Amino acid sequence: MPAFPVVDVDEWEVVDYEPMGSKPGKLWLQPPAGSPFAERRWLFKPTTIQRERDREFLKGDDWAEKLVAEVAHLLGVSAAPVELATRRGSPGIISGDISARRELVFGNEVLFGHDPEYDRHGRRGVAGYTVDAVLSALRSLGVVLPADHDAPDASAAFAGYVTLDALVANTDRHHENWGILVDPTATEPPRLAPSFDHASSLGFLLSDDERAERLQTRDGNRTVEAFAERGRSRHFAGTPTLVDVAVNAAAACGAAVAIGYRSRLEALSHNRLEALLDSIPDDRMSHPSRIFAVRLMDENRRRLLDELNRYG
């Protein structure tokens, strides 16, 4: 595969500032007329700089977000489009606006609308934030599929989102990290929004020294496989493992859905994942990051398949 392009957004117009999330410096940009990106607004998110003592390094949230969007495509999971980008000399990504002239309502408000007792202002480990609660809310509100998602219904599509999370070790599926798109005229049913904001994936926070150590160690508690096994949701009630969240969601949608996601994972070979990683420019992603990320996905894929093989 050719290298992913890096889009220069220096000349794009700033149309808004994004207050959501903890990362500073996020800007909504409008490409100039005639640009191949001009059909929508794009959110520029600069790569986070990590400072430790007398050195600093880029965290890797840019390549993580781009890679997960591409992995989602391979899994048939609807996700916001993402491109590597640069603005005023700062590396980052641009993520396409998913609202499509609808109002984006975040998951905490969806769950509160379904259950007035739900703690919509809670942060981590909200007692009512469970897979069953999400699926029940989507069904009761008549939420329909994203336009480009191949699944029986919106609840099965959400099962795809958390399957993606488990594969890429995304620990940040909090209740404001998914949502529905509501038609302001109320003439069409609400639609599940494409998945978005996948930066907290693929061990992006690790230093290259730690990645190299985990790749080479003989300590069973420090291996990449051990890292994968400890992957847990930071937000669903009870902090379940990412694999448990995915398998329980698929199973709750029926055996056919579980078998469907198993088939998609089976088709996602090591070589296809490695080709994606090779498409990230060398100045964005180090060699240890690539080796660690593909080994992490290989291990998570194996663990998911082991569990999903129970369904026929």
| pLDDT digits (tens), the chain, 312 positions | 789 999 999 999 999 888 765 566 899 999 999 999 999 999 999 998 766 656 565 689 999 999 999 999 999 999 999 999 999 999 999 999 999 789 999 999 999 999 999 999 998 889 999 999 999 999 999 999 887 777 889 999 999 999 999 999 999 999 999 999 999 988 899 999 999 999 999 999 898 999 999 999 999 999 999 999 999 999 999 999 999 999 999 999 999 999 999 999 999 999 999 999 999 999 999 999 999 999 999 999 999 999 999 876
- Is the CB of residue 98 less than 8 Å from the CB of residue 196? yes
H helix intervals, the chain: 61-75, 107-114, 131-140, 154-168, 208-216, 224-229, 242-252, 255-267, 270-278, 287-308
Backbone angles phi, psi at 57, to 5 degrees: -150, 160
d(CA 248, CA 253): 9
Candidates 114, 121, 105, 162; CA nearest to 138 is 114
CB atoms closer than 10 angstroms to residue 215? 14
In sequence order, the 6+-apart residues with CB closer than 8 A to the CB of 213 are: 222
- Separation between Cα atoms, residue 291 and residue 166, nearest integer Å: 18
The answer to whether residues 249 and 257 touch, using CB atoms and an 8 Å cutoff, is: no
Domains of the chain, CATH where assigned: 6-96 (3.30.200.120), 103-308 (1.10.1070.20)
Per the listing, tokens 């929004």 go with: 193
Q: How far apart are CA 312 and CA 305, in angstroms?
A: 12
Answer yes or no: are the C-beta atoms of 252 and 134 closer than 8 Å. Answer: no
The three-state DSSP-derived secondary structure of 102-163 is: CEEEEHHHHHHHHCCCCCCCCCCCCCCCCHHHHHHHHHHCCCECCCCCCCCCHHHHHHHHHH
